[in-house]
């Protein structure tokens, strides 16, 4: 394929197919489509076995001509994986087991009656089956970046084309000048989704204009999603890889680059594989390569794998790594727009940022700017994790409150526990306490309360999580991931970790807390790159909102959440203890003594605080404080 | 992530070397080829001992100290051979708040090795990893490519038992 007409033919042929999945009156070759999630979450819980079982069963029943199996990307509700949806009904089967498949095939695919007891229970109310869009998890979501995830087969470029794929590229190449493209992105108000929130259009404009007559420029994609607990970029790459390729080509046209690189984490094998397939298909269809759509514009994309270094998510470190070096950041200026990859003008955007671009081109800047808050436009994808019912991916308009995301969409905290904090921004971000649950989420509001958007990881913590321990956890991460190039980060974070460790051991003093805070500001001001400049944030935000927990560790020598081992003391309630001797038998240190049918006691000097006795006690007589 | 070099002698075969030379010849002229070459080399040998780094250095005309610098910078490159069963425990935030730290400690205790180590019989190696992105299954660990999710400390014994014989 080379021409616009040919693209149109494919689009029209495929539109009937993909439309079956949004409204039932489509002209699909098949009666039904069965979509099975092939994202990392569902694959880990066994979705490939489901697909095998489906294939066998359809073959046995002679249904292969009538039912199409589509392996898609992530639907978002990872907690309920593996997930399967049957269209045109839109029946949502959750936690599917391969043993269930014969029943679903027989009753639903042959007789047309969805198997109610296997459907996601929120979609079933009495005799009625609700549409997925009406469930609490999906109702308040608005999908722009994730629009094709869980809808199309990411390994089939024609399904992407059927969803208006590569239409935006066609539009910019045939109807717009590079300056018009940049102006559209500027007007849309799109800001970088990787964390910093720098206006994307400004970045592009700089790269277009700052160096006149550059012989080569580059477009890079940051898919080195390093924040633990964030997986939105992975889901876009797994569920809709072509949107990234298309957007990078658009960026190439806008700034005048002919080569792109995607730097992706090697920890994401499925994403890497889907990208490889997507790049190959795009080249075969002439959507990457020389003279795209018969115009003068040529653009190609190479894939580079990371090797497990968090700092490579920083823009200059990422470029140094693509060049084949230790991924250490470089001082700025010069900024990448002037001297980036291989010393040439370069733009680097994150996956989710790119995923918005084709929609902005097709629907216009005003459409995008109509969503969100005054300074943060559009939507944002969050990866909900930790102590929350509906772990998974959600996309909401900017300005949605944390309460809506956690309580309504996320379904609240399990086991009747109390919300303590939400952590956003990963190791660069902070913890947001309950008192700020009603602040509309956008870039500026999160910074004003001491956290940051980051790439969109949102980890919920309940009363059982110790905030000093969480701060220590993040500092351990930063110490491990600091590249070592600049002193404030290399040595400073290590000293911070040591102080936190001392506090969690019950050896800290009030003076240590002051020193810790002072050191935070030094490191923030003096580190070379974003990693060091933001590394103290988890400590500063927990000091700001949970100082009482620090003080409890230092003054009372207690860990209020019962996490920090050294500060725990185990006790047996003599009234509850029946003298069954279970605890004494299981104690690895021989610290528990007592005779049969008499209350036992724990020798605190011998106790290792392993908790084995609590697990074994049937009477709930042992407590840790 | 331990970077200590190993006492295990290098047992590279000529078939492995041939494969590596082919990879190098293919990629040599690409810009920034060192990382992809190292990644392929690790696929071929399972790890990157100094002997393999020397071959790459000679063939690509890159100083050995630079190669060593790159290898030791990235946590996915290993100077040590890995066990037959590679256990990775996710210590990403979502898994950590759900107790993956306890699972990791239990494994260290059970196997008698620390992060980056390998049991003397070469059977198990243990490492911590940062978020494989299946946070819906937290806390989780992987053994080679098999994922075990929604774990409790008590599951550790039965998982190890699966690979015991």
pLDDT in tens, A157-202: 999 999 999 999 999 999 999 999 999 999 999 999 988 899 999 9
Test A79 with B136 for CB contact under 8 angstroms: yes
Average pLDDT of chain A is 94
CA A303 to each of CA A154, A280, A298, A306: distance values in angstroms, whole numbers, following the listed order: 17, 11, 17, 10
Q: Tell me which of B38, B94, B98 to substitute to probe the interface with A (most A C-beta atoms closer than 10 Å).
A: B94
> What is the distance between the alpha carbons of residues A38 and A156, in angstroms, rounded to a whole number?
14
User: How many angstroms separate the CA of residue B111 from the nearest CA in chain A?
Assistant: 17
Mutate to test the interface with B, among A42, A44, A239, A455 (most CBs of B within 10 A): A44
CB atoms B32 and A322 under 8 Å: yes
- Residue (of A85, A74, A88) closest to A27 by Cα position: A88
Could you tell me which of A264, A274, A269, A48 has the C-alpha nearest to residue A153? A274
Mean predicted confidence (pLDDT) in A536-557:
97
pLDDT of residue A537: 96
Q: Which CATH architecture has domain A569-624?
A: 2-Layer Sandwich (3.30)
Instruction: Summarize the confidence of residues A537-563 as an average pLDDT.
Output: 96
pLDDT at res. B8: 65
A226 pLDDT band (50/70/90 cuts)?
confident
pLDDT for residue A25: 65
CATH 3.40.50.11540 matches A178-369: yes
Give tens-digit pLDDT for A125-157: 888 888 888 899 999 999 999 999 999 999 999
pLDDT at A464 over 90: yes
Instruction: Give chain B's radius of gyration (CA, Å).
Output: 18
Chain A residues close to B32, C-beta within 8 Å = 304, 322-324, 342
Q: Which residues of chain B have pLDDT under 70?
A: 1-8
CB contact at 8 A, A348 and A319: yes
- Most A CBs within 10 A among B62, B65, B131, hence the mutation to make, goes to B131
Find out whether A543 and A499 touch, Cβ atoms under 8 Å: no
A435 exposed, middle or buried (CB, 10 Å; 0-12, 13-18, 19+)?
A: exposed
Q: Scan for tokens 């199409």, then name that residue.
A: A68
Specify the pLDDT at position B114: 86
Q: Do B96 and A323 touch (CB under 8 A)?
A: no
pLDDT in tens, A605-625: 888 888 888 888 999 999 887
Residue A234, both tokens? 């992975």
- Do the chains contact at A423 and B93, CB–CB below 8 Å? yes
> Which residues of chain A are in CATH 3.40.50.11540 domains?
178-369
Half-sphere exposure (CA, 13 Å, Cβ side) for A481?
A: 29
Contact criterion met (CB below 8 Å) for A392 and A79: yes
List chain B residues with CB under 8 Å of A483.
Answer: 73
**Nearest partner of A138 among A50, A63, A225, A76, judged by Cα:** A76
Q: Which of A40, A342, A459 sits opposite B133 (nearest CB)?
A: A40
Q: How far apart are CA A622 and CA A611, in angstroms?
A: 9
Beta bridge partners, B89, equal B128, B141
Q: Which residues pair with A199 in a beta bridge?
A: A191
Query: Does B140 reach chain A within 8 Å, measured CB to CB?
Result: yes
pLDDT average, residue stretch A561-585: 91
Of the given ranges (A124-128, A361-365, A424-428), which has the lowest mean pLDDT? A124-128
A24 pLDDT exceeds 70?
no
Nearest C-alpha of chain B: how many angstroms from A469? 10
pLDDT digits (tens, 9 = 90+) for A281-315: 999 999 999 999 999 999 999 999 999 899 999 99
Residues A421/A545, Cβ–Cβ less than 8 Å: yes
Characterize B102-113 residue by residue with b for buried, 16 or more Cβ atoms within 10 angstroms of its Cβ, and e for exposed.
Answer: bbbebbbeebeb
Q: Which residue of B has its CA nearest to A266?
A: B76
Domain with CATH 1.20.1440.230 in chain A: 467-556
Alpha-carbon distance B147 to nearest alpha carbon in chain A (angstroms): 6
Q: Burial code of A41-67, b = ≥16 C-beta within 10 A, e = fewer?
A: bbbbbebeebbebbeebbeeeebeeeb
| Residue range(s) in chain A whose domain bears CATH number 3.40.30.10 | 31-134
Query: What residue spans in chain A does CATH classification 3.10.20.600 cover?
Result: 379-462
**B56 in reach of chain A (CB within 8 A):** no
Q: Which residues pair with A422 in a beta bridge?
A: A432, A460
Which CATH number does A467-556 carry? 1.20.1440.230
Q: Burial level of A505, CB count in 10 A (0-12/13-18/19+)?
A: middle
CA distance A164 to chain B (A): 29
Q: Say yes or no: B11 contacts chain A, CB-CB below 8 A.
A: no
How high is the ipTM of this complex?
Answer: 0.87
Contacts of B75 in chain A (CB under 8 A): 307-309
* Residue A300, burial from CB neighbour count under 10 angstroms (0-12, 13-18, 19+): middle
A300 in B contact zone (CB under 8 Å): no
Beta strands in A50-129 (DSSP E): 67-72, 84-87, 91-93, 124-125, 128-129
- What does A394-449 look like in DSSP terms, one character per residue? EEEETT-BHHIIIIIIS---GGGPPEEEEEESGGGSEEEEGGGTTSBP-HHHHHHT
Shortest Cα distance, chain A CAs vs residue B41, angstroms = 13
Give the gap in angstroms from C-alpha A5 to the nearest C-alpha of chain B: 35
Q: Is A608 on the interface with B (CB under 8 A)?
A: no
Contact check, Cβ <8 Å, B137/A461: no
Q: What does the pLDDT look like over A501-522, one tens digit per residue? A: 999 999 999 999 999 999 999 9
Cβ <8 Å between B133 and A386: no
Topology of domain A379-462 in CATH is Ubiquitin-like (UB roll) (3.10.20)
Q: Is the pLDDT of residue A26 over 80?
A: no
The count of CB pairs under 8 A between chains A and B is 135
Q: Is B44 on the interface with A (CB under 8 A)?
A: no
User: CB-based burial of residue A349 (10 Å sphere; 0-12 exposed, 13-18 middle, 19+ buried)?
Assistant: buried
CB < 8 Å to A45, chain B: 134, 136-137, 147, 149
Burial A108-146 (b: 16+ CB within 10 A, else e): bbeeeebbeebbbebbbeeeebeebeebebbeebebbbb
User: What number does CATH give the domain A31-134?
Assistant: 3.40.30.10
**Over the stretch A258-285, which tens digit does the pLDDT of each residue have?**
999 999 998 888 999 999 999 999 999 9
- Specify the pTM: 0.92
Q: β-pairing, A570-572 with A622-624?
A: antiparallel
Q: What is the pLDDT of residue B1?
A: 41
- Phi first, then psi, for residue B25 (nearest 5°) are -60, -35
Residues A439-451: what's their mean pLDDT? 94
């Amino acid at each position: 394929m080379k021409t616009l007409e040919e693209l149109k033919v494919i689009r029209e042929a495929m539109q009937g197919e993909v439309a079956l999945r949004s409204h039932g009156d489509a002209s699909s070759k098949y009666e039904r489509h069965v979509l099975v999630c092939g994202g990392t979450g569902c694959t880990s819980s066994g979705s490939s076995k489901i697909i095998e079982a489906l294939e066998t069963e359809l073959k046995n029943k002679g249904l292969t001509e009538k039912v199409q199996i589509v392996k898609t990307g992530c639907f978002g509700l990872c907690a309920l994986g593996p997930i399967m949806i049957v269209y045109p009904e839109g029946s949502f089967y959750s936690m599917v087991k391969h043993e269930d498949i014969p029943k679903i095939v027989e009753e639903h695919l042959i007789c047309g009656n969805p198997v109610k007891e296997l459907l996601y229970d929120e979609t079933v109310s009495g005799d009625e089956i609700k549409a997925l869009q009406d469930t609490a998890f999906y109702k308040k979501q608005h999908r722009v970046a994730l629009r094709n995830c869980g809808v199309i087969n990411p390994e089939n470029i024609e399904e992407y084309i059927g969803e208006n794929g590569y239409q935006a590229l066609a539009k910019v190449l045939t109807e717009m000048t590079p300056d018009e493209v940049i102006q559209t992105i500027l007007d849309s108000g799109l800001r970088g989704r990787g964390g910093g929130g720098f206006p994307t259009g400004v970045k592009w404009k700089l790269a277009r204009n700052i160096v006149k007559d550059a012989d080569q420029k580059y477009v890079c994609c940051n898919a080195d999603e390093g924040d633990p607990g964030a997986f939105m970029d992975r889901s876009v790459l797994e569920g809709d890889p072509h949107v990234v390729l298309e957007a990078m080509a658009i960026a190439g046209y806008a700034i005048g680059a002919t080569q792109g690189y995607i730097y992706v984490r090697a920890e994401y094998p499925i994403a890497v594989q889907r990208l490889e397939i997507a790049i190959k298909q795009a080249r075969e269809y002439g959507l990457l390569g020389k003279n795209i759509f018969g115009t003068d514009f040529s653009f190609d994309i190479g894939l580079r794998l990371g090797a497990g270094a968090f700092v490579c998510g920083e823009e200059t470190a990422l470029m140094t790594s693509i060049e084949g070096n230790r991924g250490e950041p470089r001082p700025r200026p010069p900024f990448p727009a002037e001297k980036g990859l291989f010393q040439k003008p370069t733009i680097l955007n994150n996956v989710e940022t790119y995923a918005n671009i084709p929609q902005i081109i097709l629907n216009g800047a005003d459409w995008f700017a109509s969503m969100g808050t005054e300074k943060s436009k559009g939507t944002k994808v969050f990866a909900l994790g930790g102590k929350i019912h509906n772990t998974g991916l959600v996309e909401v308009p900017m300005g949605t409150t944390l309460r809506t995301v956690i309580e309504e969409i996320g379904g609240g905290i399990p086991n009747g526990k109390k919300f303590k904090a939400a952590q956003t921004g990963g190791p660069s971000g902070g913890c947001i306490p309950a008192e700020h649950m009603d602040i509309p989420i956008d870039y500026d509001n999160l910074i004003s309360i001491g956290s940051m958007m980051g790439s969109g990881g949102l980890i919920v913590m309940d009363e059982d999580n110790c905030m000093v321990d969480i701060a220590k956890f993040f500092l351990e991460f930063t110490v491990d991931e600091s590249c070592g190039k600049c002193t404030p980060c290399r040595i400073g974070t290590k000293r911070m970790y040591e102080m936190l460790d001392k506090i969690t051991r019950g050896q800290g003093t009030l003076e240590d807390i002051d020193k810790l805070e002072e050191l935070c500001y030094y490191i923030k001001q003096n580190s070379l790159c974003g990693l060091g400049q933001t590394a103290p944030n988890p400590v500063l935000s927990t000091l700001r909102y949970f100082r009482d927990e620090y003080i409890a560790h230092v003054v009372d020598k207690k860990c209020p959440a019962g996490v920090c081992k050294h500060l725990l003391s185990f006790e047996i309630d003599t009234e509850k203890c029946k003298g069954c001797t279970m605890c004494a038998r299981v104690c690895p240190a021989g610290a528990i003594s007592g005779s049969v049918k008499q209350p036992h006691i724990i020798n605190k000097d011998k106790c290792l605080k392993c908790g084995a006795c609590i697990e074994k006690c049937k009477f709930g007589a042992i407590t840790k404080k | 992530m331990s970077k200590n070099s190993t006492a295990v002698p290098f047992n590279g075969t000529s078939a492995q070397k041939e494969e590596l030379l082919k990879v190098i010849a293919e990629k040599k002229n690409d810009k920034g080829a060192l990382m992809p070459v190292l990644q392929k080399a690790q696929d071929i040998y399972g790890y990157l001992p100094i002997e393999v780094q020397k071959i790459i250095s000679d063939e690509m005309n890159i100083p050995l100290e630079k190669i060593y610098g790159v290898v030791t910078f990235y946590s996915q490159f290993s100077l040590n051979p890995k066990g037959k069963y590679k256990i990775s425990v996710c210590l990403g935030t979502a898994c950590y708040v759900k107790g993956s730290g306890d699972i990791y400690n239990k494994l260290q205790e059970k196997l008698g090795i620390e992060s980056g180590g390998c049991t003397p019989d070469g059977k198990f190696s243990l490492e911590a990893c940062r978020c494989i992105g299946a946070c819906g299954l937290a806390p989780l660990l992987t053994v080679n490519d098999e994922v075990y999710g929604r774990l409790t400390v008590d599951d550790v014994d039965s998982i190890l038992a699966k690979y015991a014989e």
